[in-house]
Structures are given as structure tokens and as C-alpha cells.
Structure 1
Amino acid sequence: MSVDLQTVKRVARLARIAVSEEEAAAMTGKLNSILGFVEQLGEVDVTGVEPMTSVIPMEMKKRGDEVTDGNKAADIVANAPATEENFFLVPKVVE
């Protein structure tokens, strides 16, 4: 796949980047070399290679899935100006 001047201008317009004629011509060569490198990567034989998320084998840290009520009600209302039975007390605003 190769990129021409028209494609570079279209991509620049879509990216909302102002590109002059000289810059577009320079980008054509750069983008073609990048795409050439990507095509080389496609030629590498990766059969039998498992996908990985890290360069070293790591096991995901997991915690037990336990349902609790949180036991945090007292901590949550600790700084409230007025509370009653772990509920916030607020002034009445509707008559």
C-alpha cells in the first residue's frame, strides 16, 4: 500500500492539521516508509506464539468476591454536622 499526496491532504484535513504543499510532500515519503515497515511486520511468522499483555509472565491479582454491607456507615457520617442513626439530617426545604 502506498500513500499519495491527495491521501496525505485528506488525512490532514480529517485530523484538522494545517499542512502546506511542501510538508504534505515530505509526509508522503514518511508515511510510505512507515507503512512499508508495518508490511514487513506482517511477514513475520507468529504461529505458535501466544498473545501476551506483558513481557514477563504475570498473574492477575485477584481478591475474594464477598458480599458485605460495607460496615462504613459510621465513617461516612462522621464529619456531617447533624446525623441520626447513621443518616444525614438536613433542613426541611419544602413546606
Structure 2
Amino acid sequence: MSEITPDLVRHLGVLARIQLSDEEVERLTGELDAIVDNIAKVSEVATAEVPATSHPVPLENVFRRDEVGETLTQAEALSNAPDQADGRFRVTAILGEEQ
């Protein structure tokens, strides 16, 4: 018996504030049902003896020493800037600010 019904999909759409057409409800019902079935299959074989993994290959972070190297001067950093003012990059105002 299917756990995911069209009514449940419509309800989830309302909760997510997404308007779903009848075709979308039909398609999503099948897709979500397949997802739930696959999760159930994984849950059947997942046991306490099997450690959880997030990646199939063991990974380890590799860090390098943080050493100060050559850096650009302020003039060099601004040399190719399309617009500059007072030693800074000048850009167009955003987020509703006056231009």
C-alpha cells in the first residue's frame, strides 16, 4: 500500500506554499512514493553493526602551513579597477540604496 497519496502531496504543497497542478500532483505522488520505498529498503539493511558513512572513500583534510607571502600593494590591487575612489573600489549601490 502506498504511503504517499495525492491528497498528501496537495497538503505538502499548501504547507510549502507551492501551487501544484493536477499533473504535478500525479507526477510527484509517484516520485515521492518511490523515494519513500527506497528509504524503507535502506532502513531494512541498515543495522547497528554497519557504521554510517557520508562518503564511500575515507577522506582526510589536508592542510598547509599558513605563511605570509607576497601580496599586492593597494595601488596594484586598484590598477585594473574600472572605477575607484579614495583608495577603494567604487561599485554601483545595491539593495535599494540611493545611487
User: TM-score, structure 2 length as denominator?
Assistant: 0.50
Gaps of 5+ in 1: 82-89
The reply to whether residue 77 of structure 1 matches residue 74 of structure 2 is yes
- Please list every run of at least 4 consecutive aligned residues from structure 1 whose deviation after the TM superposition is greater than 6 angstroms: none
Cα root mean square deviation, aligned: 3.3
The reply to whether residue 4 of structure 1 matches residue 5 of structure 2 is yes
Quote the Cα distance in structure 2 between the aligned partners of 1:9 and 1:40. Answer: 25
User: TM-score, structure 1 length as denominator?
Assistant: 0.52
The reply to whether residue 48 of structure 1 matches residue 45 of structure 2 is no
- Structure 1 residues 61 and 53: alpha-carbon distance in aligned structure 2, compared to 1, 3 A threshold: farther
Q: Counterpart in 1 of 2:65? A: 64
Q: Counterpart in 1 of 2:94? A: none
Larger Cα-atom Rg:
1
Instruction: Report percent identity of matched pairs.
Output: 22
Structure 1 contact 9–19 (Cα < 8 Å) conserved: no
Gaps of 5+ in 2: 80-85, 88-99
The alignment of Structure 1 onto Structure 2 pairs a total of residues equal to 78
